[in-house]
């Protein structure tokens, strides 16, 4: 039940609740709520029950609450949080950090299609494809106001060329708002946006949430490699460089005993047998290359071996083939490489934003402009040979 009392009593209750949540909860998400409606906000609150608490409020009241608590406790963490209070935002206080991934997916997935409003910044580009609009000829003034080329076909307006109605990051004009409204388009999607995270007295950007264990492991291994390389360069033994030192020592021993014809063990003997037998060496090189996809240089080398042409000439042939294929696909929408594949273009119509049912689950789908895609199809000869 909502608290009933005077305005001052309500403020005191809010201040107490904010400080209690900030100091007792392990994690808080600072979310932007521009253009988020009350119904959408309520849906998110209901979905987060038992996992997190959504707390909104006026920035002045939030700053007052944090300043009062900072004066009492001199908490540097709250000072960092105070510096982040800006704009139209709110808090999501998590009951447990284990819910972070689930709550983040829920918040970011809750988007509502919205019509363009004049004066607001467009979050994305809005493109109007060439083709029928479904509007009557009496509406041509809308298109003329924005210099959009049109023609009348079968009693309806049809645009003759694609046109960018809105540019991302720029204000939406009155003409664009009127045109998109007449077309019945809701090109934008709005919802809560996670801006930053408050945890253990620190405030950090939401981009940190995208850092996975694999990214951390990769960065750590890059550091280990740098330490190993630096230690080897200046001649200082390190634990990271020890495997490289042992490998180089083995190479030196193998090279030395091969020169003096000395038996230094099974491994060295195995290497000696391979080096002394060209067929074994060739087989080992072939096995190393097996399974790896050929690069452009590799393809040029294979063509050079098969045709006795220079590799540079074969590279030029590949470049020319790519140029010819690109020109033909753009011009005719089709290009065939004999014995291999056929490249073909296909036009995909624009799709509106909205809810779709995918595998029995309702999901939000973003609006997509019309585009042309290129598909590759294997010819019959290649299919039979595989």
Q: Could you tell me how far CA 128 lies from the centroid of its own chain? A: 25
Enter the tokens of residue 211: 């850092």
Of the two residues 15 and 358, the one the predictor is more confident about is: 15
97 and 206 inside one domain: yes
**Mean pLDDT for all residues in the chain:** 83
Please tell me what DSSP assigns to residue 87: S
If one counts every other C-beta atom within 10 angstroms of the C-beta of residue 30, the result is 21
Please tell me what DSSP assigns to residue 268: H
Rounded to the nearest 10 degrees, the angle between the axes of helix 7-24 and helix 59-73 is 60
59 and 105 inside one domain: yes
**What pLDDT, on the 0 to 100 scale, is given for residue 285?**
65
Write the pLDDT tens digit of every residue in 313-328: 888 889 999 899 888 8
- 3-class secondary structure for 172-228? CCHHHHHHHHHHCCCCEEECCEEEEEEECCEEEEHHHHHCCHHHHHHHHHHHHHHHH
Distances (CA, A) of 287 to 280, 282, 386: 10, 9, 21
Q: Is 348 exposed, middle or buried (0-12, 13-18, 19+ CB in 10 A)?
A: exposed
Domain ranges, residue 96: 7-111+191-210
Beta-sheet strand order (sheet of 193-199): 52-55, 89-94, 27-32, 193-199, 202-205
Query: Please, are residues 222 and 214 in contact by the beta-carbon 8 Å criterion?
Result: no
Nearest one of 337, 342, 343 to 372, comparing CA atoms: 343
Do the domain assignments include residue 386? yes
Give 157's strand partners.
152
83 and 199 inside one domain: yes
How far is residue 128's CA from residue 101's CA, in Å, rounded to a whole number? 36
Distances (CA, A) of 165 to 122, 153, 262, 348: 10, 22, 80, 20
19 and 152 inside one domain: no
Question: Any idea what the CATH number is for the domain that residue 164 is in?
Answer: 3.90.105.20
Question: Any idea what the CATH number is for the domain that residue 29 is in?
Answer: 3.30.70.1730
Please tell me what DSSP assigns to residue 333: S
Do the domain assignments include residue 317? no
Give 153's strand partners.
156
- Minimum mean pLDDT range among 227-231, 251-255, 336-340: 251-255
Question: Any idea what the CATH number is for the domain that residue 366 is in?
Answer: 4.10.520.10
Write the pLDDT tens digit of every residue in 156-201: 888 888 888 888 888 888 888 888 888 888 888 888 889 999 988 8
Write the pLDDT tens digit of every residue in 333-350: 888 888 888 888 888 887
pLDDT at 2 over 70: no
If one counts every other C-beta atom within 10 angstroms of the C-beta of residue 113, the result is 18
Mean pLDDT over 357-375 rounds to: 71
Domain count, the chain: 3
Do the domain assignments include residue 258? no
Enter the tokens of residue 180: 């998109």
24 and 79 inside one domain: yes
202 and 55 inside one domain: yes
Query: Please, are residues 14 and 62 in contact by the beta-carbon 8 Å criterion?
Result: no
Do the domain assignments include residue 242? no
Query: Please, are residues 88 and 127 in contact by the beta-carbon 8 Å criterion?
Result: no
How far is residue 261's CA from residue 342's CA, in Å, rounded to a whole number? 58
Do the domain assignments include residue 152? yes
91 and 15 inside one domain: yes
pLDDT at 293 over 80: no
Close Cβ partners of 260 (under 8 Å, ≥ 6 residues apart):
none
- Minimum mean pLDDT range among 55-64, 107-116, 232-241, 245-254: 245-254
- Minimum mean pLDDT range among 138-142, 175-179, 380-384: 380-384
135 and 101 inside one domain: no
How far is residue 345's CA from residue 372's CA, in Å, rounded to a whole number? 7
197 and 86 inside one domain: yes
Write the pLDDT tens digit of every residue in 85-123: 988 889 999 999 888 888 888 888 888 888 888 888 888
Do the domain assignments include residue 63? yes
Of the two residues 301 and 86, the one the predictor is more confident about is: 86
Give 126's strand partners.
166
Do the domain assignments include residue 309? no
- H helix count then E strand count, the chain: 14, 17
11 and 102 inside one domain: yes
Do the domain assignments include residue 293? no
Please tell me what DSSP assigns to residue 309: -
197 and 102 inside one domain: yes
How far is residue 205's CA from residue 79's CA, in Å, rounded to a whole number? 16
Mean pLDDT over 42-64 rounds to: 90
Query: Please, are residues 316 and 344 in contact by the beta-carbon 8 Å criterion?
Result: no
**What pLDDT, on the 0 to 100 scale, is given for residue 93?**
93
If one counts every other C-beta atom within 10 angstroms of the C-beta of residue 195, the result is 16
198 and 142 inside one domain: no
How far is residue 380's CA from residue 107's CA, in Å, rounded to a whole number? 49
């Amino acid at each position: 039940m909502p608290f009933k009392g005077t305005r001052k009593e309500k403020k005191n209750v809010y201040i107490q609740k904010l400080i209690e949540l900030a100091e007792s909860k392990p994690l808080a998400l600072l979310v932007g709520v521009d253009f988020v409606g009350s119904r959408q906000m309520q849906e998110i609150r209901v979905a987060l029950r038992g996992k997190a608490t959504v707390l909104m409020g006026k920035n002045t009241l939030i700053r007052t609450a944090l300043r009062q608590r900072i004066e009492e406790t001199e908490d540097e963490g709250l000072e960092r949080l105070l510096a982040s209070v800006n704009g139209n935002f709110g808090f999501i206080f998590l009951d447990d950090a284990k819910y972070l991934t689930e709550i983040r997916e829920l918040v970011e997935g809750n988007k509502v299609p919205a019509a363009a409003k004049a004066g607001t910044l467009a979050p994305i580009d809005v493109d109007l494809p060439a083709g029928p609009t479904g509007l009557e000829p009496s509406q041509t003034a809308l298109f003329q106001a924005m210099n959009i080329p049109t023609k009348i076909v079968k009693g309806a307006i049809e645009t003759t060329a694609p046109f960018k109605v809105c540019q991302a990051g720029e204000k939406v004009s009155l003409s664009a708002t009127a045109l998109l409204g007449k077309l019945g388009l809701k090109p934008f999607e709005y919802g809560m946006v996670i801006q930053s995270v408050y945890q253990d007295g620190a405030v950090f950007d939401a981009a940190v949430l995208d850092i996975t264990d694999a990214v951390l492991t990769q960065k750590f291994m890059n550091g280990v490699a740098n330490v190993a390389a630096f230690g080897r360069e200046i001649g200082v033994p390190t634990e990271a460089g020890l495997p490289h030192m042992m490998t180089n020592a083995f190479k030196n021993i193998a090279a030395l005993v091969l020169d003096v014809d000395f038996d230094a063990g099974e491994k060295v003997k195995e290497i000696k047998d391979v080096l002394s037998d060209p067929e074994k060496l060739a087989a080992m090189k072939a096995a190393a290359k097996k399974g790896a996809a050929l690069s452009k240089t590799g393809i040029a080398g294979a063509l050079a071996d098969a045709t006795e042409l220079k590799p540079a000439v074969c590279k030029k042939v590949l470049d020319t083939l790519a140029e010819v294929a690109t020109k033909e696909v753009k011009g005719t929408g089709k290009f065939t490489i004999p014995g291999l594949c056929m490249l073909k273009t296909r036009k995909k119509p624009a799709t509106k934003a909205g809810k779709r049912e995918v595998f029995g689950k309702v999901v939000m789908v973003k609006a997509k402009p019309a585009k042309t895609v290129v598909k590759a199809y294997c010819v019959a000869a290649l299919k039979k040979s595989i």
